[in-house]
Amino acid sequence: MIKIENINKSFGDHDVLKNISFSFERGKTNLIIGESGSGKTTLLRILIGLHQIDSGTILYDDKKFNQLSIKEKRKLRQEIGVLFQRGALYDFMNVEENIMFPLTMFTEKSDEEKIYRVNDCLKRVNLENCNNLKISELSGGMIKRVSIARAIVMNPKYLLCDEPNSGLDPKTAIIIDNLIQEITQESNITTIVNTHDMNSVMEIGQKIAYINNGEISWTGNKEELLKSNNKQLNDFVFASELFKRLKKL
């Protein structure tokens, strides 16, 4: 479980996050939703330690993230799998080397063991026999899947995804969403997905936090979301013609 308590963050005079508290549950896909510029990417970057908070507490199970030493943070980060918006795959490595990289850096496994684990992860994301492909040869959906394979290769306890299906067609987006949910439930890990895609929300939203102007203004699940009376949330959810028509049904 990841718990955040009274998180505040500002850049200069601009308050990006205001007194945010939320609990991301284990075994569930926890979604942070909100409009562009609402502060959700900042929150995700805070959770993975790329931004420092002004005040508040971040708890990874019983560990206070902001009170850990650099060494302890590095150790904890090995338990966190991160899926970046654009994949962030190393373009000087091929698919196999990308996925194998965390194993080479942090484990003493033999080459055979590492290749076995890489193949296992590639199979999990339906990309068997793609080991030797260059990153430039991959499609958008394949890049996301290789990124997921790299994120899960160390058997993480936490999986953090920043807009995992941005730039993908609806069919591939659903495949990626379902893959994230399946991995979350199979491995019983804490997954946080940062998205503004309503299809994703309806597909995998088991626990949702809606951020508006740096504040959490609504929490619930995907069923409760459609029945909410929160005006800002309704404006966000029913912005598209498709969802407006759904509401009328």
Q: Helix (H, G, I), strand (E, B), or coil: what is residue 2?
A: strand
Q: Choose among 153, 166, 165: nearest CA to 79.
A: 153
Under the binding rule (CB under 8 A), the answer on residue 167 touching another protein is no
Q: Which stretch binds another protein (CB under 8 A): 34-42, 97-105, 199-207, 234-242?
A: 97-105
Structure tokens at 104: 């080479």
Binding-residue total with another protein (CB under 8 A) = 23
Among 48, 115, 174, 226, binds another protein (CB under 8 A): 48
Q: Which stretch binds another protein (CB under 8 A): 73-81, 177-185, 194-202, 232-240?
A: 73-81
Q: Which stretch binds another protein (CB under 8 A): 81-89, 170-178, 213-221, 228-236?
A: 81-89
Nearer to another protein, 105 or 249 (CB): 105
Min dist CB 45 to another protein, Å, is 8
Q: Which stretch binds another protein (CB under 8 A): 42-50, 57-65, 197-205, 213-221?
A: 42-50
Among 15, 21, 49, 63, binds another protein (CB under 8 A): 49
Q: Helix (H, G, I), strand (E, B), or coil: what is residue 166?
A: coil
Q: Helix (H, G, I), strand (E, B), or coil: what is residue 59?
A: strand
Among 56, 102, 140, 167, binds another protein (CB under 8 A): 102
Q: Which residues are within 8 A (CB) of 90 and not within 5 positions of it... i.e. 6 or more apart?
A: 97, 98, 101, 135
Min dist CB 24 to another protein, Å, is 17
Q: Give dist(CA 147, CA 99) in Å, integer.
A: 8
Q: Helix (H, G, I), strand (E, B), or coil: what is residue 67?
A: helix
CB 165 within 8 A of CB 144: yes
Q: Which residues are within 8 A (CB) of 71 and not within 5 positions of it... i.e. 6 or more apart?
A: none
Q: Rg for the chain (alpha carbons), in Å?
A: 18
Under the binding rule (CB under 8 A), the answer on residue 140 touching another protein is no
Among 37, 55, 61, 86, binds another protein (CB under 8 A): 86
Q: Give dist(CA 195, CA 144) in Å, integer.
A: 15
> How far is C-alpha 233 from the geometric centre of its chain's CA atoms?
21
Min dist CB 51 to another protein, Å, is 11
Among 9, 28, 77, 144, binds another protein (CB under 8 A): 77
| Residue bearing tokens 């498709």 | 242
Binding site for another protein (CB under 8 A): 48-50, 73-75, 77-78, 80, 82, 84-86, 88-92, 101-102, 104-106
